[in-house]
């Protein structure tokens, strides 16, 4: 029997060990070893999950563990995983390892830096395995403040403004989530006036549609803020571009996924009737985010801003998939979450590595990097190609699945939204090819670029790790689809309940 609490325990012990570390080398290695152990634990979890499913275990959640926490309010520490959570846990583990490798040479306050990164990952792991809404909310909020400190202390540019904006907008989102969760809680009378935060139990209670119509927007918008739901996306470009490299990787790679996961697992899953009613709003906002993000990217001159806006666009696909409420679209949304997490981490990582050497992120000032930095430039181009959805990379699989799922909705409105979203890929191709062409190809723009050195071993390792993960989804999408298929089916059964009652 696998004990899931170990996924929280490993980062916790790592964080404490980092605090004990005496010098920079110790701290780095402790952080790296801790995160690699966590990655191995994630992979072990994947295999034991597949083994359980192969053995015919059809329970919705596996490896459940529950114990009473605050019994007076019926708050439990209740964890369990399905394929979707495992995909998210693996994503988190990969990105954290890569992030720690890339920040290997962090000089200032490195103990605090690695401590906060590990603490942040702790919040994400806890969030993905929680099945109790209170615990889930606890971990969601746990993952906010470390971001503020990471951006505020180690960031660049207008960092204080960006950090504050990010923290306040995310906390605003979580305030909405809080009200939504409490409203849900007080609508779950399970006898004798006792209420429950238990996600699975709530999904079996039918909350009146009228009430759902109030609660669903709170939950969806609240989580939506985390995943840069249009028009609450404005924290994302500023936050990403001011953050230090590892923090941007984490922010775009994992934090935005907390929102997507919450929209799916909490908002849509618990309020299926309302999800159907509001489907058009979600589709509208998601399409707006996709198009707006793509065009805004065209206008950017700074590579980090470029990737940040394209993240808004890509996360739009996640929401589009969820909003369409068909099984294929939701599978696409989950794959897009994983794919975007890996790809954007690689993209931010390569931008950070280039910046460390050239000291500029302005596309206009870059040029000819392939000649002096062959490895890093290749990584940069791979990230770009994945971002524009080239077949063979994970982005293609994810976006294609979302489109196929979206097209299953026959209404004219949804069709138009799908077509518009598809069209945005062309825009993506324009900005990626333009940026990559200008900065990597052509003559060397600056004499100083000739004196730079290519990637160190840690950076190579990080890039290769992410690229392998991207390619393994791109070339063999079936394993991840198999992983999440059963669980999406179970979610769909709940959502279908909403459809039939309409």
* From 149-157, 329-337, 361-369, 440-448, span contacting other proteins (CB under 8 A): 149-157
* Owner of token pair 């309010």: 73
The 71-110 contact track toward other proteins, x by CB under 8 A, reads xxx-------------------------------------
Is residue 246 within 8 Å of 117, Cβ to Cβ? yes
* From 58-66, 161-169, 257-265, 329-337, span contacting other proteins (CB under 8 A): 161-169
Q: Does 149 bind other proteins (CB under 8 A)?
A: yes
> Based on the number of CB atoms within 10 Å of its own CB, is 464 exposed (0-12), middle (13-18) or buried (19 or more)?
middle
Nearest 5°: CA angle at 264, between 257 and 41? 55
* From 138-146, 256-264, 304-312, 321-329, span contacting other proteins (CB under 8 A): 138-146
Using CB under 8 A, which of 2, 29, 37, 138 touches other proteins? 138
Q: Which is nearer to other proteins, 168 or 364 (CB)?
A: 168
Q: Does 284 bind other proteins (CB under 8 A)?
A: no
Q: Does 67 bind other proteins (CB under 8 A)?
A: no
Query: CB 178 → other proteins: shortest distance, Å?
Result: 5
The 165-184 contact track toward other proteins, x by CB under 8 A, reads --xx--xx--xx-xx--xx-
Gap between the Cα atoms of 286 and 325, Å rounded = 13
Closest CA to 423 of 316, 277, 303, 268: 316
With a CB cutoff of 8 Å and minimum separation 6, the contacts of 168 are none
Using CB under 8 A, which of 47, 186, 413, 478 touches other proteins? 186
Q: Does 185 bind other proteins (CB under 8 A)?
A: yes
Q: Does 145 bind other proteins (CB under 8 A)?
A: yes
Buried b (16+ CB within 10 A) or exposed e, 281-298: ebbbbbbbbbbbbbebbe
Nearest 5°: CA angle at 221, between 220 and 224? 85
Q: Does 194 bind other proteins (CB under 8 A)?
A: no
Cis peptide preceding 231, ω within 30 of 0: yes
Query: CB 468 → other proteins: shortest distance, Å?
Result: 34
Q: Does 150 bind other proteins (CB under 8 A)?
A: no
* Owner of token pair 């696409």: 332
How many residues at the interface with other proteins, by CB under 8 A?
32
Q: Does 192 bind other proteins (CB under 8 A)?
A: no
Query: CB 71 → other proteins: shortest distance, Å?
Result: 7
Q: Does 9 bind other proteins (CB under 8 A)?
A: no
| Cα-based distances in Å from 264 to 218, 429, 471 | 14, 29, 26
Gap between the Cα atoms of 328 and 76, Å rounded = 33
Give residue 353's Cα distance to chain centre: 21
Q: Does 70 bind other proteins (CB under 8 A)?
A: yes
Is residue 130 within 8 Å of 69, Cβ to Cβ? no
Is residue 429 within 8 Å of 298, Cβ to Cβ? no
Q: Which is nearer to other proteins, 87 or 170 (CB)?
A: 170
* Residues forming the site for other proteins (CB under 8 A): 69-73, 134, 137-139, 141-142, 144-145, 148-149, 152-153, 160, 163-164, 167-168, 171-172, 175-176, 178-179, 182-183, 185-186
């Amino acid at each position: 029997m696998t004990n899931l609490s170990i996924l929280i325990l490993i980062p916790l012990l790592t964080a404490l060990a980092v605090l004990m570390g005496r010098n920079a080398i110790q701290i780095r290695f402790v952080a790296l070893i801790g995160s690699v152990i966590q990655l191995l634990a994630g992979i072990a979890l994947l295999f034991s999950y597949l083994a359980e499913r192969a053995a015919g275990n059809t329970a919705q959640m596996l490896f459940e563990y529950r114990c009473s926490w605050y019994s007076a309010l019926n708050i439990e520490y209740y964890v369990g995983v399905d394929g979707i959570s495992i995909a998210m846990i693996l994503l988190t583990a990969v990105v954290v390892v890569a992030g720690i490798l890339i920040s290997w040479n962090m000089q200032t306050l490195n103990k605090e830096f690695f401590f906060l990164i590990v603490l942040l990952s702790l919040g994400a792991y806890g969030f993905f395995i929680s099945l109790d809404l209170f615990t889930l909310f606890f971990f969601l909020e746990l993952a906010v403040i470390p971001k503020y400190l990471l951006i505020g202390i180690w960031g660049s540019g207008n960092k204080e403004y960006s950090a504050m904006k990010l923290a306040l907008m995310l906390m605003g989102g979580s305030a909405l989530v809080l009200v939504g969760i409490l409203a849900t809680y007080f609508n779950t009378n399970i006898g004798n006036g006792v209420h429950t935060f238990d996600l699975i139990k709530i999904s079996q209670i039918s909350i009146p549609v009228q009430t759902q119509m109030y609660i669903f927007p709170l939950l969806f918008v609240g989580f939506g803020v985390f995943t840069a739901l249009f028009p609450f996306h404005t924290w994302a470009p500023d936050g990403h571009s001011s953050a230090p490299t590892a923090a941007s990787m984490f922010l775009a790679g994992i934090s935005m996924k907390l929102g997507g996961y919450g929209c799916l697992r909490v908002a849509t899953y618990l309020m299926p009737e309302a999800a159907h009613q509001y489907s058009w709003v979600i589709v509208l906002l998601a399409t707006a985010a996709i198009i707006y993000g793509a065009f805004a990217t065209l206008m950017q001159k700074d590579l980090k801003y470029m990737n940040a806006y394209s993240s808004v666009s890509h996360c739009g696909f996640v929401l589009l998939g969820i909003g369409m409420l068909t099984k294929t679209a939701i599978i696409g949304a989950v794959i897009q979450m994983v794919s975007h997490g890996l790809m954007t981490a690689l993209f931010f990582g390569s931008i950070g590595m280039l910046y460390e050497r050239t000291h500029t992120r302005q596309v206009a000032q870059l040029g000819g990097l392939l000649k002096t930095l062959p490895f890093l430039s290749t990584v940069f181009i791979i990230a770009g190609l994945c971002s524009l959805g080239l077949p063979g990379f994970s982005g293609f699989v994810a976006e294609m699945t979302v489109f196929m799922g979206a097209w299953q909705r026959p209404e004219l409105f949804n069709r138009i939204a799908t077509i518009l979203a598809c069209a945005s890929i062309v825009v993506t191709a324009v900005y990626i090819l333009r940026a990559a062409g200008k900065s990597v190809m052509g003559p060397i723009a600056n004499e100083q670029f000739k004196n730079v050195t290519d990637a160190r071993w840690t950076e190579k390792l990080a890039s290769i790790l992410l690229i392998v993960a991207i390619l393994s989804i791109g070339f063999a999408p079936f394993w991840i689809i198999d992983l999440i298929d059963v669980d999406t089916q179970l979610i769909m059964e709940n959502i279908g309940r909403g459809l039939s009652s309409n």
